[in-house]
Chain A
Amino acid sequence: MADKKRNWGVVAQFANPADLLHAAQKAREAGYKKFEVYSPFPVHGMDDAMGLPGSKVPWISLMGGLTGMTIGLTLQWWTGAVDYPLVIGGKPLFAWEFGLPVTFELSVLLASFGTVFGMFALNKLPKPYHPLDKVPMFKGVTDDKFFMSIEVADPMFDLHKSQAFLEEIGGTNVTVVEE
Chain B
Amino acid sequence: MVAWLIWEGTGIWGLNNPVGWGWAIVNFVFWVGIGHAGTLISAILFLFRQKWRTAINRFAEAMTIFAVICALVFPGIHVGRIWAAYWMLPLPNQMGMWPNFRSPLLWDVFAVSTYFTVSLLFWYVGLVPDLATLRDRAKGKIRYYAYGMLSLGWRGANRHWQNYERAYLLLAGLATPLVLSVHTIVSFDFAVSVIPGWHTTIFPPYFVAGAIFSGFAMVMTLAVPSRKIFGLEDFITVRHIENMNKIILVTGTMVGYAYAMEFFIAWYSGSQYESFAFVNRAFGPYAWAYWIMVSCNVITPQFFWFKKMRTNLTVAFILSIFVNIGMWFERFVITMSLHRDFLPSSWDYYRPTMFDISTFVGSFGLFFTLFLLFLKFLPAVAISEVKGVMPQADPHWEGYGHHGEHGEEAAHG
Given A99-B101, A104-B181, CB of A57 within 8 Å of CB of B155: no
CB distance from B224 to the nearest CB of A (A): 28
B181-208, CB under 8 A of A: which get 1 and which 0? Answer: 1000100100000000000000000000
Would A142 and B171 count as touching, CB distance under 8 A?
no
Contact of B171 among A98, A104, A115, A129 (CB under 8 A): A115
Which chain B residues border A120 with CB–CB below 8 Å? 152
B387-401, CB under 8 A of A: which get 1 and which 0? Answer: 110001111110010
16 more A-B residue pairs beyond the given contacts A55-B163, A125-B154, with a C-beta to C-beta distance below 8 A? A17-B393, A18-B395, A19-B403, A38-B155, A38-B157, A41-B387, A57-B166, A105-B185, A109-B118, A112-B174, A115-B170, A115-B174, A116-B121, A128-B153, A129-B153, A143-B137
Q: Of B16-24, B107-115, B303-311, which binds chain A?
A: B107-115
CB distance from B204 to the nearest CB of A (A): 11
B225 on interface, CB distance cutoff 8 Å: no
Which chain B residues border A83 with CB–CB below 8 Å? 96, 98
B237 on interface, CB distance cutoff 8 Å: no
Closest to B131 in A: A142
CB distance from B6 to the nearest CB of A (A): 28
Which chain A residues border B149 with CB–CB below 8 Å? 126, 128
CB distance from B392 to the nearest CB of A (A): 7
CB distance from B265 to the nearest CB of A (A): 23
Would A108 and B178 count as touching, CB distance under 8 A?
yes
Would B110 and A101 count as touching, CB distance under 8 A?
yes
Which chain B residues border A112 with CB–CB below 8 Å? 117-118, 121-122, 171, 174-175
Would B114 and A98 count as touching, CB distance under 8 A?
no
Which chain A residues border B133 with CB–CB below 8 Å? 40, 142-143
A130 on interface, CB distance cutoff 8 Å: yes
Would B156 and A57 count as touching, CB distance under 8 A?
no
Which chain B residues border A46 with CB–CB below 8 Å? 158, 161-162
Task: Provide the bound-state CA to CA distance between A84 and B104, in Å.
Answer: 19
B102 on interface, CB distance cutoff 8 Å: yes
B344 on interface, CB distance cutoff 8 Å: no
Count how many chain A residues have C-beta atoms less than 8 Å from C-beta atoms of the other chain. 71
Task: Provide the bound-state CA to CA distance between A91 and B102, in Å.
Answer: 8
Given A39-B156, A141-B156, CB of A123 within 8 Å of CB of B163: yes
Closest to A111 in B: B174
B404 on interface, CB distance cutoff 8 Å: yes
Instruction: Sample 17 A-B pairs with CB under 8 A, ordered by A number.
Output: A19-B404, A22-B406, A40-B129, A40-B133, A42-B165, A55-B166, A84-B96, A104-B177, A104-B181, A105-B185, A106-B110, A109-B117, A109-B118, A112-B175, A120-B152, A127-B152, A128-B149
Task: Provide the bound-state CA to CA distance between A114 and B346, in Å.
Answer: 52
Which 10 residue pairs are nearest across A and B when measured between Cβ atoms? A18-B400, A119-B167, A79-B98, A126-B152, A127-B153, A41-B388, A101-B107, A42-B161, A55-B166, A142-B133
Which chain B residues border A143 with CB–CB below 8 Å? 133, 136-137
Task: Provide the bound-state CA to CA distance between A141 and B242, in Å.
Answer: 34
Contact of A123 among B159, B175, B397 (CB under 8 A): B159
Closest to A119 in B: B167
Task: Provide the bound-state CA to CA distance between A45 and B394, in Å.
Answer: 9
A164 on interface, CB distance cutoff 8 Å: no
Which chain A residues border B181 with CB–CB below 8 Å? 101, 104-105, 108
Closest to A23 in B: B404
Which chain B residues border A76 with CB–CB below 8 Å? 101
